[in-house]
Amino acid sequence: MKSLKSEDRIASILKKQNWNITKIQPLPFYTGGGLLNGPVLKYRITHDNKTTTIAVKNVTKEPRFLFRSLYSEYGHANTKQLHLFDQCCSFLSMNRMPEREMFFYTNRNSSICQNVPQIYGMEYEGQTLILLMEDLSYCIRMDQIETPHVWSSEDICLAVETLAMFHHVELCPKKSLPHWEVSEQYDTITLFLEEFNDSMNRYVTLRRIPQVDTATENYLRNLSEYETRLKEYRKILIHNDFNIRNICLDSKNKKIKVYDWEFIDYGNPIMDLVDLFLSLSPGHLEKANLDVWMNLYIEKASAYGETGLNLSTLKEQLYYNTVRYSATRMNMYFLFYLEGKKSYIERMYRNLFKLIIYCESR
Ligand SMILES: Nc1ncnc2c1ncn2[C@@H]1O[C@H](COP(=O)(O)OP(=O)(O)OP(=O)(O)O)[C@@H](O)[C@H]1O
Ligand SMILES: [Mg+2]
């Protein structure tokens, strides 16, 4: 079947939502596009005697295919290692990406609707999910990954409060929850991550930080124990990519808006806090600031009825998730972004050090 021109496809999706369209105009807007998906595009739609600007995202490739090709292309992996990776990709949330984003927007809990873009329509074209969203360009602090210091302490407090809320209202109601397969073959996962970590250590030309590398090795040695501990604390549906690349601020309504739900998965919620902290400016990650944000999270979580969370139990979860991040996501970022986003991943690696030092402090 011949695929429709973008504008025709968009019109067809919106007509099903009863939009009476008279004109669709593509707008110049370039987000750069990620490694996986093309850039988000914008269109001005004239319909029903008004105009609405929409943002259009095409969720395409599964990250595991990109990972696989880079992993072998650079000579890091032989057939056996690729096979190990295939067994681990659900542990790394690297599968079913369009399905996850579609699942979230179809089922999201109505109590968080002010924190996510409105969806005007979505549809698969082949394997690609076409997502028609509210244009969030009125928000601030968007795409400030190169200048993370623009996030003020107040903004970060709001992001932490939003996370505490997400972690206690259920992102999607229980009855809608999918049964994504999760690999818990910890021996296989450890073997894969050890070999992957070794190849990234050889590949990456950054000056190594011994404390980070030791903490990562520590996680790999104790993976099954740490994972079990994290699960015992809590395992719920989390955003799983909650960093300043995927959040922005609706300053008029004082709300954090969160997009890019491709990685939504079950996990320990404090991973979202680690993700947020690691994306901030190194200047933010001082003990006094981190104490404020951690205590704020505890205060909000307690207000939602969570019991047993104090600075020490939260720090323990923060530590396990930080070293888990170091052994998984950080190495994936090295593989994906070392060429194009060196300063960003260098900053994250240094932030890992700051966060590990914080977790080890009393
Ligand atoms: N609803 C929206 N309104 C305006 N801009 C948006 C919207 N959604 C996404 N964008 C822009 O498009 C960029 C990419 O979107 P998103 O993060 O959802 O996709 P992605 O393909 O996963 O990108 P990346 O790999 O960079 O995370 C965002 O960083 C943001 O600049
Ligand atoms: Mg993104």
Is 54 close to ligand 1, i.e. is its CB under 6 Å away? no
Q: Residue 127 falls within a domain, yes or no?
A: no
Whole-Å CA distances, 180 to 91, 95, 96, 321, 357: 11, 9, 9, 21, 35
Residue of 36, 141, 260, 279 best suited for mutating to test ligand 1, as the one with most atoms within 8 Å of CB: 260
Q: Residue 327 falls within a domain, yes or no?
A: yes
Query: What atom in ligand 1 is closest to the CA of residue 259?
Result: 18
4 Cβ contact list (under 8 Å, min separation 6): 12, 125
Is 36 close to ligand 1, i.e. is its CB under 6 Å away? yes
Q: Which of 69-78, 105-114, 216-225 has the lowest mean pLDDT?
A: 69-78
Which ligand is closest to the CA of 40, given by its number? 1
In the prediction, which pLDDT does 33 show?
67
Is 135 close to ligand 1, i.e. is its CB under 6 Å away? yes
Is 336 close to ligand 1, i.e. is its CB under 6 Å away? no
78 Cβ contact list (under 8 Å, min separation 6): 72
Q: Residue 42 falls within a domain, yes or no?
A: no
Task: Using the predicted structure, report yes or no on whether residue 1 has a pLDDT greater than 50.
Answer: no
Q: Residue 15 falls within a domain, yes or no?
A: no
Which ligand is closest to the CA of 33, given by its number? 1
Nearest to 251 by CA among 168, 164, 137, 166: 137
The residue with tokens 């079947």 is 1
Q: How far apart are CA 54 and CA 342, in angstroms?
A: 32
* Chain segment 56-85, per-residue pLDDT in tens: 999 987 889 999 999 998 888 999 999 999
Q: Residue 230 falls within a domain, yes or no?
A: yes
Question: Which residue is closest in CA terms to ligand 1's atom 20?
Answer: 34
Q: How far apart are CA 119 and CA 54, in angstroms?
A: 9
* Chain segment 279-314, per-residue pLDDT in tens: 999 999 999 999 999 999 999 999 999 999 999 999
Say if CB 158 and CB 254 are below 8 A apart.
Answer: yes
Q: How far is the CA of 310 from the centre of ligand 2 (A)?
A: 31
Q: Residue 2 falls within a domain, yes or no?
A: no
Nearest to 354 by CA among 306, 316, 322, 317: 322
Higher pLDDT, 194 or 174: 194
* Chain segment 165-176, per-residue pLDDT in tens: 999 999 999 888
The residue with tokens 């109601």 is 173
Q: Residue 12 falls within a domain, yes or no?
A: no
Is 37 close to ligand 1, i.e. is its CB under 6 Å away? yes
Which CATH number goes with the domain that contains 339? 3.90.1200
Question: Which residue is closest in CA terms to ligand 1's atom 26?
Answer: 34
In the prediction, which pLDDT does 74 show?
80
Higher pLDDT, 236 or 36: 236
91 Cβ contact list (under 8 Å, min separation 6): 182, 183, 184, 189
Question: Which residue is closest in CA terms to ligand 1's atom 18?
Answer: 260
What domain count does the chain have? Answer: 1
Question: Which residue is closest in CA terms to ligand 1's atom 27?
Answer: 34
Confidence of residue 182 (pLDDT cuts 50, 70, 90): confident
Is 57 close to ligand 1, i.e. is its CB under 6 Å away? yes
In the prediction, which pLDDT does 295 show?
98
Q: Residue 96 falls within a domain, yes or no?
A: yes
Q: What is the phi/psi pair of residue 237, to 5°?
A: -75, 125
Residue of 30, 31, 52, 105 best suited for mutating to test ligand 1, as the one with most atoms within 8 Å of CB: 31
Is 133 close to ligand 1, i.e. is its CB under 6 Å away? yes
Domain range spanning residue 82? 61-116+136-360
Query: What atom in ligand 1 is closest to the CA of residue 117?
Result: 1
Is 55 close to ligand 1, i.e. is its CB under 6 Å away? yes
Is 38 close to ligand 1, i.e. is its CB under 6 Å away? no
Q: How far is the CA of 361 from the centre of ligand 2 (A)?
A: 32
Q: How far is the CA of 89 from the centre of ligand 2 (A)?
A: 19
Q: How far apart are CA 64 and CA 93, in angstroms?
A: 9
In the prediction, which pLDDT does 175 show?
80
